[in-house]
């Protein structure tokens, strides 16, 4: 079972720069011990159950709440495939392979 969760969470009431807040939210993910990847728009975490992944969301929010923010926005995407494992690396690889094959044609 592989569940990928892509999550962006940030305050919308604190001015233009968000990196201080985003860093604290990502610490929650890092402390979970689950494999993750930072991207310029979100963080992608892989789990073996959807339960362990959604459990991160309230923890991330409460970290921001404790920093005194008044409004928080979050966008989360899930891609769930029971028959697969270890997709944090494999998904990009399978697309890159398909790109190379179509380039050869």
- List binders of a second copy among 67-96 (CB under 8 A): 70-83, 87-89, 91-92, 94-96
Residues 13-72, interacting with a second copy (CB under 8 A): 13, 15-16, 18-20, 22-24, 26-27, 30, 37-42, 44, 49-51, 54-55, 57-58, 61, 65, 70-72
DSSP string, 5-71: EEEEEEESSS-S--HHHHHHHHHHHHHTT--EEE-SS-EEEEESSHHHHHTHHHHHHHHHHHTT-S-
SS3 1: coil
Closest C-alpha among 105, 56, 46, 57 to residue 81: 46
If binding means CB under 8 A, how many residues of this protein chain bind a second copy? 61
Which of residues 31, 48, 85, 98 is near a second copy by CB under 8 A?
98
- The token pair at 42 is 């979100």
Applying CB under 8 A, the residues found at the interface with a second copy are: 4, 6, 8-10, 12-13, 15-16, 18-20, 22-24, 26-27, 30, 37-42, 44, 49-51, 54-55, 57-58, 61, 65, 70-83, 87-89, 91-92, 94-99, 101-102
């Amino acid at each position: 079972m592989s569940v990928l969760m892509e999550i962006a969470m940030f305050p919308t009431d604190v001015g233009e720069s968000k990196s201080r807040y985003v860093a604290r939210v990502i610490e929650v993910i890092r402390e979970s011990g689950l494999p993750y990847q930072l991207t310029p728009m979100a963080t992608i975490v892989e789990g073996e159950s959807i339960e362990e992944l959604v459990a991160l969301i309230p923890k991330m929010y409460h970290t921001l709440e404790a920093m005194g923010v008044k409004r928080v926005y979050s966008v989360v995407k899930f891609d769930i495939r029971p028959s697969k494992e270890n997709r944090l690396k494999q998904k990009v690889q399978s697309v890159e392979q398909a790109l190379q094959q179509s380039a050869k044609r």
